[in-house]
C-alpha cells in the first residue's frame, strides 16, 4: 500500500501541469467545483486539489503562517478531497486514497522532512517549528523540537511560548 501511495504522490510531483495563474480560484472553491462534477473530470479535479493541498502543507507550511488560510485549512482540504476520491465507485485506487485521507498529516510530515533536510535551523526556524507544532500537534514536529533541546508542552496551547 505504501508503494502505491508513493507512486501516487510522485505522479503529482512530476506531472506536466500548466503553471497556476494569478486568476486561478482558491483550492476551496476548486474543491466545491470538483464535487459538483461527474465522471473522470470529477476524479481528476479532486485529485489535483488533494495533491496540491498536501504539497502546500508539506513544503510551504511556514509561509502559510502569513496567509489567511493556515496549515490546518490545507490539511483538512486535502483530507476531504482524498476521502471523496476514495468513494469513487469505479476507482481501483480507493483504498490508497482512503489511507491518504486518514493519514494526511503523516504525509505532510514526510514532505516537510524533505523540505527541511536542505535547510539549517535558525532560532526563527525553531520558533516557526514550535508554532507549527502547537497548531497541528504533529508527532514529527515534536520529535524535531526534542532533538534540538526544546520540550514541547501541549498543555499551554497557543497562549504563550516557554
> Tens of pLDDT along 2-25?
555 555 556 655 565 544 443 478
**Which three-class secondary structure string do you get for the chain?**
CHHHHHHHHHHHHHCCCCCCCCCCCCHHHHHHHHHHCCHHHHHHHHHHHHHHHHHHHHHCHHHHCCCCCCHHHHHHHHHHHHHHHHCCCCCCCHHHHHHHHHCHHHHHHHHHHHHHHCCCCCHHHHHHHHHHHHHHCCHHHHHHHHHCCCCCCHHHCCCCCC
Q: Between 39 and 67, name the one with better pLDDT.
A: 39
Domain count, the chain: 2
19 part of a folded domain: no
59 part of a folded domain: yes
pLDDT of residue 128: 82
pTM for the structure as a whole: 0.63
94 part of a folded domain: yes
76 and 149 assigned to the same domain:
no
4 and 75 assigned to the same domain:
yes
- Of the candidates 103, 87, 118, 100, which has an alpha carbon nearest to the alpha carbon of residue 11? 100
Q: What is the extent of the structural domain holding 157?
A: 120-162
**pLDDT (tens digit, 9 = 90+) per residue, 65-87?**
777 788 889 999 999 999 999 99
145 and 70 assigned to the same domain:
no
Amino acid at each position: 500500500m505504501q508503494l502505491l501511495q508513493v507512486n501516487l504522490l510522485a505522479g503529482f510531483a512530476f506531472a506536466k501541469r500548466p503553471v497556476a495563474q494569478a486568476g486561478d480560484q482558491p483550492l476551496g472553491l476548486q474543491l466545491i467545483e470538483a464535487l459538483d462534477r461527474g465522471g473522470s473530470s470529477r476524479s481528476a479535479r479532486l485529485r489535483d486539489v488533494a495533491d496540491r493541498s498536501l504539497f502546500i502543507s508539506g513544503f510551504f507550511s511556514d509561509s502559510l503562517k502569513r496567509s489567511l488560510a493556515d496549515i490546518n485549512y490545507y490539511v483538512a482540504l486535502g483530507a476531504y478531497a482524498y476521502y471523496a476520491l476514495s468513494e469513487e465507485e469505479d476507482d481501483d485506487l480507493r483504498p490508497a486514497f482512503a489511507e491518504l485521507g486518514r493519514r494526511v498529516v503523516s504525509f505532510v510530515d514526510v514532505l516537510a522532512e524533505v523540505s527541511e533536510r536542505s535547510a539549517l535551523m535558525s532560532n526563527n526556524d525553531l520558533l516557526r517549528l514550535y508554532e507549527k507544532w502547537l497548531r497541528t500537534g504533529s508527532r514529527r514536529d515534536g520529535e524535531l523540537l526534542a532533538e534540538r533541546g526544546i520540550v514541547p508542552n501541549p498543555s499551554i496551547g497557543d497562549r504563550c511560548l516557554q
